[in-house]
Amino acid sequence: MELFGLSLETIYLYTLIISGTLTILLILFNDILSGMEAPDYLNPVLILAFLTVFGASGYLFEKVTTLHSGLSAVISGFIAFLIVSMLNIFILIPLSSAEESLVISESDLKGRTGKVLTSIPVDGYGEVLIEGASGSIAKPAVSFDNKAISEASIVLVIEAKNGVLHVMSQQQLEIK
């Protein structure tokens, strides 16, 4: 069977090659499209995955089997829909949820204790390690009251501004 003067095998092969290439480009340049708001069913990853699987299975059915072209297209569409649905349910949705759960904001660090990795001089920067259930995070830090804090001291995070922790030594807190 022919469509637009081309055999269906050729159309399926072109669909496979073009959608596969666009999928690779989407993976490389995904940050450009990440700000666009669209419904979940218009996710470019899902659309390109559908076209890629549809093109591959359609090409194989046309090349290998003697099924009618219409039946091959219907079966290819069903296979593509099934695979893309499983991709969405079992991979994309869990990944989008997991990404949000690992994010830590500056306000979450307020009130936590940490250990000084690099001593904090008066009017200078050091580094503090904060350990938690999901892992450890090292952040630059300054002394809240402009007093030097030695290495290995335990500190309390008073506030976090612009990625820098403002900390007080536990010893200074006990004195007050």
pTM for this prediction: 0.54
Which positions ≥6 away from 1 have C-beta within 8 Å? 7, 8, 69
What residue segments make up the domains of the chain, in order of their start? 2-101, 106-175
pLDDT of residue 33: 65
Give yes or no for a contact between 158 and 168, defined as CB atoms under 8 angstroms apart.
yes
- CATH code for the structural domain at 106-175: 2.40.50.140
Q: Which of 24, 29, 20 is nearest to 50 (CA)?
A: 20
The CA distance from 107 to 89, in Å, is 32
pLDDT in tens, 96-115: 766 555 567 777 788 889 99
Residue 146 sits at φ, ψ, to 5 deg, of: 55, 40
